[in-house]
Amino acid sequence: MNLYAKKNKGFLNQVELKRTRYKLLYWSLFALAMFVCMLTLLPLLWMITSAFKSTEEFLQIPPTIIPRSFEIGKLGKVWEQSGILQAYTSTLILAGGSLVFHIGMCGIAGYVLAVMKPAGTKQILTILLWCLMIPGTNSLVPLFMTFIDFPILHVNLMNTYWPMWLLAAVNVFDVILFKNYFNTISGSLSEAAKLDGCNNLQVLMKIMLPLAIPLVITLSVFSLTNSFSSYFWPNLVLKDNWKKPIALKVMNMKAGLTTDEYMVALLYVSVPPIFFYLVFQKHITQSINIGGVKG
Amino acid sequence: MSKIKVKSLDAAKGVLIKDGNTGTYKGELFRCIKSTVKHSWSGWLLLIPFFFLMIFLLWKPLIMGIYWSFFEMKGYVVGEFCGLKNYITVMSDTAFLQTLGNCIKYVIWSLIIGYMIPVVLSIVFNELVHLNKFITFSIYFPSLVPGMAVALLWYYVFFPNMTGLLNQMLSIFNIAPKTWLQNSDWTIMLIVLTATWEGFGKTTLFYMANLQSINQELFEAAMLDGAGILHRVKYVTMPYLYPTMLLFFVNQCKGLFCMFEKPWVMTGGGPNGASMTLALKSYYYAFNDFRVGESLAVGVITFVILLTLTFVYKYIEKRNSYEL
Per residue in A50-82, pLDDT (tens digit) is 888 887 777 777 777 777 777 788 888 888 888
Q: Where are the alpha helices (DSSP H) in chain A?
A: 20-52, 55-59, 73-81, 84-111, 121-133, 140-148, 162-169, 172-184, 187-195, 200-202, 209-211, 213-228, 232-237, 246-252, 259-279, 281-291
* pLDDT tens digit sequence for A225-284: 899 989 999 999 998 888 899 999 888 887 778 888 888 889 999 999 999 888 888 887
Nearest CB to B219: which of A11, A146, A270? A11
pLDDT above 50 (res A96): yes
C-alpha dihedral (B130, B135, B136, B141), degrees to nearest 10: 160
- Sequence-ordered list of residues with C-beta below 8 angstroms from that of A224, at least 6 positions apart, any chain: A95, A99, A272, A273, A276
Q: Which residue has the higher pLDDT, B18 or A58?
A: A58
Min Cα separation A38/chain B (Å):
8
- Sequence-ordered list of residues with C-beta below 8 angstroms from that of B44, at least 6 positions apart, any chain: A118
CB contact under 8 A, B146 and A228: yes
Q: In whole numbers, what is the pLDDT of chain A averaged over residues?
A: 85
Confidence of residue A5 (pLDDT cuts 50, 70, 90): low
Domains and CATH numbers, chain B: 2-68 (no CATH), 88-323 (1.10.3720.10)
CB contact under 8 A, B144 and A274: yes
pLDDT at position B1 is 43
All residues of chain A having their beta carbon less than 8 Å from the beta carbon of residue B219 are 11, 13
Q: Where are the beta strands (DSSP E) in chain B?
A: 71-74, 77-81
* pLDDT tens digit sequence for B56-97: 999 999 999 999 989 888 878 888 888 888 899 889 988 889
pLDDT at position A290 is 54
Q: Which residue has the higher pLDDT, A284 or B190?
A: B190
CB contact under 8 A, B148 and A175: no
pLDDT above 50 (res A22): yes
Min Cα separation A92/chain B (Å):
16
Cis ω before B177 (30° cut-off from 0): no
Residues 73-92, chain B, touching A (beta carbon < 8 A): 76
pLDDT at position A293 is 42
pLDDT above 90 (res A93): yes
Q: In whole numbers, what is the pLDDT of chain B averaged over residues?
A: 84
Nearest CB to A135: which of B60, B197, B310? B310
Cis ω before A118 (30° cut-off from 0): no
CB-based contact, B308 to chain A, within 8 Å: no
Contact between A267 and A88 (Cβ < 8 Å): no
Task: Name the CATH code of domain A78-291 (choices 3.40.50.720, 1.10.3470.10, 3.30.470.10, 1.10.3720.10).
Answer: 1.10.3720.10
Average pLDDT over residues A168-184: 88
Q: Which residue has the higher pLDDT, A11 or A124?
A: A124
Nearest CB to B139: which of A37, A123, A295? A37
CA distances, A196 to each of A118, A182, A190, B95, B257 (Å): 22, 20, 10, 68, 55
Min Cα separation A37/chain B (Å):
6
* pLDDT tens digit sequence for B87-143: 998 899 888 899 999 999 999 998 888 888 999 999 999 888 888 888 988 988 898
CA distances, B281 to each of A136, B26, B232, B287 (Å): 15, 60, 46, 10
CB contact under 8 A, A138 and B299: yes
* pLDDT tens digit sequence for B276-316: 998 999 999 888 888 888 899 999 999 999 899 888 888 88
Residue of B nearest to A150 (CA): B56
pLDDT at position A292 is 44
How many CB contacts within 8 angstroms connect chain A with chain B? 253
All residues of chain B having their beta carbon less than 8 Å from the beta carbon of residue A229 are 146-149
pLDDT above 70 (res B14): no
C-alpha A51/C-alpha A266 separation (Å) is 9
ipTM: 0.86
pLDDT at position A3 is 62
CB-based contact, B104 to chain A, within 8 Å: no
CB contact under 8 A, B232 and A43: no
C-alpha A104/C-alpha A285 separation (Å) is 22
Residue of A nearest to B261 (CA): A232
Residues 192-211, chain B, touching A (beta carbon < 8 A): 197, 201-202, 205-206, 211
All residues of chain A having their beta carbon less than 8 Å from the beta carbon of residue B163 are 58-59, 258-259
Confidence of residue B2 (pLDDT cuts 50, 70, 90): very low
* pLDDT tens digit sequence for B252-265: 888 888 888 899 98
- Mutate which: B3, B7, B145, B306, vs A, most A CBs within 10 A: B145
CB contact under 8 A, A30 and B130: yes
Confidence of residue B167 (pLDDT cuts 50, 70, 90): confident
pLDDT at position B24 is 65
Residue of B nearest to A114 (CA): B43
Residue of A nearest to B54 (CA): A170
Q: Which residue has the higher pLDDT, B119 or B228?
A: B119
- Sequence-ordered list of residues with C-beta below 8 angstroms from that of B278, at least 6 positions apart, any chain: A137, B99, B100, B103, B257, B258, B298, B301, B302, B305
pLDDT at position B174 is 80
pLDDT at position A288 is 61
Contact between A243 and A159 (Cβ < 8 Å): yes
Angle (CA) B266-B186-B176 rounded to 5° is: 95
Min Cα separation A59/chain B (Å):
6
Nearest CB to A61: which of B49, B144, B162? B162
CB-based contact, B252 to chain A, within 8 Å: no
Q: Which residue has the higher pLDDT, A97 or A82?
A: A97
Q: What is the pTM of this model?
A: 0.84
Confidence of residue A295 (pLDDT cuts 50, 70, 90): very low
CB contact under 8 A, A109 and B46: yes
Average pLDDT over residues A153-169: 90
**Angle between helices B187-212 and B147-157 in degrees, nearest 10:** 130
* Ranges for all domains in chain A classified under CATH 1.10.3720.10: 78-291
Contact between B238 and B230 (Cβ < 8 Å): no
